[in-house]
Amino acid sequence: MNRQARLARIYETIREIPSGSVASYGQVAEIAGIPRGARQVGWALRQLPHGQDVPWHRVITASGKIAFDMDTPQFEKQMKLLMMEDVAVIAGRIDMQKYRWQPDLDELLWKPSSAWDEM
């Protein structure tokens, strides 16, 4: 799979995370078909062109942390966007038990991403 195809799969997977839910970098990679690709998800988000419709703020670390340092504007923006979706952020952490996106098998199988259809 080439770089553009991986980026498209990652972005499409992130678009599927519903408002009020979060997913870890590794979870996004697994669902996008890129096993052990958590770093690739991070790289893809750093490459995300400004103004895209990808809800990047819904992607956090596996431990439930916002990946940005707490004293940065990026941290503040991600925290505010999550809180606007009623995701509680306490000391830079999100309760993964409560807010983790858990798509069911039907959602994964029968709601194919448009980017995947083109491959």
What confidence category does residue 104 fall into, taking pLDDT thresholds of 50, 70 and 90?
Answer: confident
pLDDT score of 81 more than 70: yes
Sequence ranges of the domains in the chain:
3-117
pLDDT digits (tens, 9 = 90+) for 18-44: 999 999 999 999 999 998 999 999 999
CATH number of 3-117: 1.10.10.10
What confidence category does residue 50 fall into, taking pLDDT thresholds of 50, 70 and 90?
Answer: confident
pTM of the model: 0.86
- DSSP letters for the chain: --HHHHHHHHHHHHHHSPTT-BEEHHHHHHHTT-TT-HHHHHHHHHHPPTT-S--GGGEE-TTSB-SS-TTSHHHHHHHHHHHHTT---BTTB--HHHHB----HHHHHHS--HHHHT-
